[in-house]
Amino acid sequence: MKNSDRNLRFGWWSLLVYLSLGLTLETLHGFKIGWYLDVGNEIRRLMFTLGHAHGTALALVSIAAGLTARNVSGFELRPSVSFALIWAAILLPGGFFLGGIVTYGGDPGLGVWLVPVGALLLFYGVARFAIDLSKLK
């Protein structure tokens, strides 16, 4: 499978997952679930919201990367970039979600440590993508 195809497929499936999680959050709001909405659960709410927002945005980034690679002639999506963008879209929002499940007062749970790893992968993937695109004649 070509890298661009992998990113496209991953992008659409992850978009479905993260939008579904968004629906779940809206349901928690709708039924006024204290576990999510109480003042003491502010960090959980923040983590889940960040997870949902980042997941959705990174799914779109993955789709955009796949479409760009398909439509820009002469441009090849590096395997490392494809890998970085996909794992960034897993680790970064996943870290937020995991960090929100168990919280310590004003601190998220240990899962939040996945976020900086995902952020580094994202930074690498986007930077490399931009450089490669700029080098095209």
Site residues, other proteins (CB under 8 A):
34, 38-43, 104-107, 110
By beta-carbon proximity to other proteins, the closer residue of 1 and 39 is 39
CA separation for the pair 33, 17 (Å, rounded): 21
Least distance in Å: CB of 114 to other proteins? 14
123 contacts: CB under 8 Å, gap ≥ 6: none
By beta-carbon proximity to other proteins, the closer residue of 86 and 114 is 114
By beta-carbon proximity to other proteins, the closer residue of 37 and 67 is 37
CA distances from 76 to 23, 69, 73, 99 (A): 35, 6, 8, 35
CA separation for the pair 69, 6 (Å, rounded): 11
Residue pair 60/30 in contact by the 8 Å Cβ criterion: no
Least distance in Å: CB of 87 to other proteins? 23
Least distance in Å: CB of 107 to other proteins? 5
By beta-carbon proximity to other proteins, the closer residue of 30 and 106 is 106
Least distance in Å: CB of 50 to other proteins? 16
